[in-house]
Amino acid sequence: MADVFEAAKRAAIMSHVRGRNTRPERLVRSLLHHLGYRFRLHVRALPGTPDIVLARYRSIVLIHGCFWHSHPGCSRARRPTTNVEFWSAKLDRNAERDRRLENQLRGDGWRLLVVWQCQTRDIDALSDRLIAFLADRKG
């Protein structure tokens, strides 16, 4: 199916997509704060500038958009049918960069939890997942 917007309009829409302080990220931060955890945001000293860093627990929470990070098996991760070559290359590079940075962070001794955008819909399950991830490091 062809894009419903003209190229200029689509470019304007896509230019407003931001990588920080997204709705799923704000939701996860709010949950963590409500649960009593304190954290730092977007630590530039770490590879890839992770979304949420809980240094006390040597843990990192990454919030990934299903589309931008190619969430396997998720309907939100469908690739566009227009300009296929561009989007395939871009999304493949994003996924490869994610793998490389995750390996680098784990190699540096960090524990990682990836929260996908679609997982932020069920607050109770997400809260349980965050608690379980951080429980064994509570100090």
Residue 86's CATH number: 3.40.960.10
For residues 114, 116, 122, 124, the Cα torsion angle rounded to the nearest 10 degrees is 10
Residue 121 domain flag: yes
Range of the domain at 49: 19-135
Given a cut of 70, whether residue 138 has pLDDT beyond it is no
pLDDT of res. 80 = 85
In a domain, residue 7? The reply is: no
- Inside any domain, residue 9: no
pLDDT of residue 20: 75
**65 touches 25 (CB < 8 A):** no
Flag whether 13 is in a domain: no
Report yes or no on 12 lying in a domain: no
pLDDT digits (tens, 9 = 90+) for 43-102: 999 999 999 999 999 999 999 999 989 999 999 989 888 889 999 999 999 999 999 999
Give the chain's domain count. Answer: 1
13-51 tens-digit pLDDT: 667 666 678 899 999 999 999 999 999 999 999 999 999
Residue 57 resides in a domain: yes
